[in-house]
Structure 1
Amino acid sequence: MAAKIIDGKAIADEVRAELARELEELTTAGAQPGIATLMVGEDFGAGMYRGAVEKFCGEMGLGYRSEALPADANEEQVVAVVKALNADPAVSGILPLRPFPAHVSDSIVINSIDPGKDVDCFHPSNMGRLTLGEPTFPPATPAACMELLERYLRSEGLDVTDALEGAEVCVVGHSNTVGKPLALLLLNRNATTTVTHVYTSNRGNLEKHTQVADYLVVAAGVPHLIGADSVKEGAVVLDVGINRVVVCPNCGALNRSKKDLCRVCGTDLAEAQNKMVGDVDFDAVSEKAAAITPVPGGVGAVTNMMLARNTLRAAHLRLGQK
């Protein structure tokens, strides 16, 4: 069977329209919802993400402020900037862009953020509330996974609670930003949740868990880690991975760098094409799953919408509305 494609771009557009109405209400009430990014040094990835957030805020009509400190800034200087952002009424959400230089402690900076402005759930108090199932700002990527899953289930005429309660869910990857908080969100919906990771794979036990999952979420950062043999017939598969690979023009194998020879056939890859792929072999798994998210155009398309939703909720809380 051919899997139904869970279209992240279409769902992101639906959420965008809902948030536009909410933003208009907040603006009418006198609020100034906006995001501030905090960057220390010149990490390339952090800089790319900063540009993406600025563009996204402009498209959404959210305020945006960038705080960039030199790589030699000390912790006291970084914390001072955070405290100024905490006090700024035009800043609803603070987004620290890591990695920080080695001499700047992640935990010290994150602990200095006002939990009411911690819109990507880095602060320990918000993670604690997530663990307890209390209202908080869910991390954007795990929240995007839940949004996609819930909207898919409703589109199939299913009750979300009935569909998830007791269902076998496997999360592949146990990062602090995706795997662990996503497992908590699923547990809070009473799903039977299994978390697997590289050490599960090292023992040869990964497929033992993925093959029985009704819902499979893969966030391992390994291109095409999950193939058709790893998936239960009729499973719903969410692919969080985003991997840039080099496709061998001779045998089609995925490789990490154009500087290398193909790992399968030894072909020179200097002129090979780059491709963006997920952690799931989309073509193969699509023939077995009931539904699947593509890469790109799946989870990533919805992630920024969840960040915007959290930012608007933070603005509501400042007004005492929610």
Structure 2
Amino acid sequence: MTARLIDGKAFAADLRVRIAREVAALEKRGITPGLAAVLVGDNPASQVYVRSKGRMTQEVGMNSFEHRLSADTPQADLLALIGRLNADSAVNGILVQLPLPRQMDESAVINAIDPAKDVDGFHIQNVGRLATGQKAMVPCTPLGCLMLLRDQMGDLSGKSALVIGRSNIVGKPMAQLLLRDSATVTIAHSRTANLPDLCRQADIIVAAVGQPCFVQGDWIKPGATVIDVGINRAGDRLIGDVDFDTARHVAGAITPVPGGVGPMTIACLLANTLTATARANGLPDPEGLTP
């Protein structure tokens, strides 16, 4: 058996087309969504990522606002900028690119963002709302994973799901989203005892542990759906947290790295910006773009 490849790149492209249609419909009402990205410092990977976000924001018809600050910017200046963006009606979504320079408190910066404009879904209010089943802005990568899982499997109710990784950005919100879809969820991590045995019981594995080729093919239940969130550099290649070469012969469906989960993150950022815009204008959430 060879697993079906879950083409996140194609799914994300289709998602952006849907978002562009929704943006065009909003423009007929005189509403143009706006996404503001703030980059502090000169991290090369962050610069590339922010440029990609800006380009794709414009491609779907949204306004893109980019703010670049030097690495030695005082935290007070960044907070002042966030305050201005919070008050700007043309800005519906705000993201502050992480990581931040050492002199800054990431939690303080994230929690300074208006929760309604927190399109990364990291604000403590959005974290709490998600955990308690309320309407929230949802972190982009887990939202993308959920969309891929629903597309592959349909109803997730009653499925056994194992999330490997306990980060605030992926692992924890992923578990909450799966619970919302009535999956039976286990959270594991690199120190979990008998992890291979837990994997062999799971219909769904979401690997976000940050270790290359951590999940082995013989850990996987035959026919399971495997979502590999990991992005690890090995020489001139990118590899995931799952040993793809062995896993693809056991799993029923699997995301490749690259081309799986990665492209979904920016697409879901745009989806969150669209959702934030609809909510700010008293309109229903766009269909299919929220949990």
Q: Which residue number in structure 1 is paired with residue 287 of structure 2? A: none
Question: Could you tell me how far 1:187 is from its partner in structure 2?
Answer: 1.2
Q: Specify which of 257, 264, 278 is matched with residue 316 of structure 1.
A: 278
Q: Which residue number in structure 1 is paired with residue 98 of structure 2? A: 98
1:220 aligns with 2:182: no
Q: Which residue number in structure 2 is paired with residue 194 of structure 1? A: 186
Partners of 1:46 and 1:176 lie apart in 2 by 19
Question: Could you tell me how far 1:310 is from its partner in structure 2?
Answer: 0.7
Bigger mean CA deviation after superposition, 98-107 or 39-48: 39-48
1:12-51: CA deviation from partner (whole Å, max 9, x where unpaired):
1221221111011111111121211112222233222212
Matched residues, number = 284
**Equivalent pair of 1:32/1:91 in contact (CA under 8 Å):** no
Calculate the TM-score normalised by the size of structure 1: 0.85
Question: Could you tell me how far 1:2 is from its partner in structure 2?
Answer: 1.2
Partners of 2:187 and 2:41 lie apart in 1 by 34
Question: Could you tell me how far 1:52 is from its partner in structure 2?
Answer: 1.9
Q: Specify which of 166, 171, 176 is matched with residue 168 of structure 2.
A: 176
Partners of 1:128 and 1:176 lie apart in 2 by 12
Partners of 1:75 and 1:44 lie apart in 2 by 21
1:242-286: CA deviation from partner (whole Å, max 9, x where unpaired):
11202xxxxxxxxxxxxxxxxxxxxxxxxxxx2121111222111
Partners of 2:223 and 2:14 lie apart in 1 by 26
Question: Could you tell me how far 1:144 is from its partner in structure 2?
Answer: 0.4
Matches within 5 A, 1:140-155: 140-154=140-154
Partners of 1:94 and 1:6 lie apart in 2 by 30
Q: Report the 3-state secondary structure (helix = DSSP H, G, I; strand = E; otherwise coil) of the residue aligned with 1:198.
A: coil
1:240 aligns with 2:226: no
**Equivalent pair of 1:9/1:297 in contact (CA under 8 Å):** yes
1:210 aligns with 2:195: no
**Equivalent pair of 1:140/1:304 in contact (CA under 8 Å):** yes
Partners of 1:106 and 1:47 lie apart in 2 by 18
Question: Could you tell me how far 1:209 is from its partner in structure 2?
Answer: 1.2
Which residue identity is paired with 2:111? N
Partners of 2:228 and 2:21 lie apart in 1 by 30
Which residue identity is paired with 2:74? N
1:212-255: CA deviation from partner (whole Å, max 9, x where unpaired):
11101111121111121110111111111111202xxxxxxxxx
Partners of 2:231 and 2:80 lie apart in 1 by 34
Question: Could you tell me how far 1:312 is from its partner in structure 2?
Answer: 0.6
Question: Could you tell me how far 1:81 is from its partner in structure 2?
Answer: 0.1
Q: Report the 3-state secondary structure (helix = DSSP H, G, I; strand = E; otherwise coil) of the residue aligned with 1:12.
A: helix
Partners of 1:85 and 1:218 lie apart in 2 by 35
Q: Report the 3-state secondary structure (helix = DSSP H, G, I; strand = E; otherwise coil) of the residue aligned with 1:199.
A: coil
**Equivalent pair of 2:143/2:268 in contact (CA under 8 Å):** yes
Partners of 1:176 and 1:47 lie apart in 2 by 23
Q: Which runs of 5+ in 1 are unaligned?
A: 155-159, 247-273
Question: Could you tell me how far 1:55 is from its partner in structure 2?
Answer: 2.1
Calculate the TM-score normalised by the size of structure 2: 0.93
Partners of 1:47 and 1:17 lie apart in 2 by 25
Question: Could you tell me how far 1:211 is from its partner in structure 2?
Answer: 1.4
User: What is the aligned-residue RMSD (CA, Å)?
Assistant: 1.3
Matches within 5 A, 1:282-321: 282-321=244-283
Which residue identity is paired with 1:184? Q
1:153-191: CA deviation from partner (whole Å, max 9, x where unpaired):
24xxxxx1xxx2232110111111101110111111121
Question: Could you tell me how far 1:72 is from its partner in structure 2?
Answer: 2.2
Bigger mean CA deviation after superposition, 66-75 or 284-293: 66-75
Partners of 1:89 and 1:141 lie apart in 2 by 26
Question: Could you tell me how far 1:137 is from its partner in structure 2?
Answer: 1.5
Q: Which residue number in structure 2 is paired with residue 49 of structure 1? A: 49
Q: Which runs of 4+ in 1 moved over 3 A?
A: none
Q: Report the 3-state secondary structure (helix = DSSP H, G, I; strand = E; otherwise coil) of the residue aligned with 2:31.
A: coil
Percent of matched pairs sharing the same residue: 43
Partners of 2:67 and 2:113 lie apart in 1 by 14
Q: Which residue number in structure 2 is paired with residue 261 of structure 1? A: none
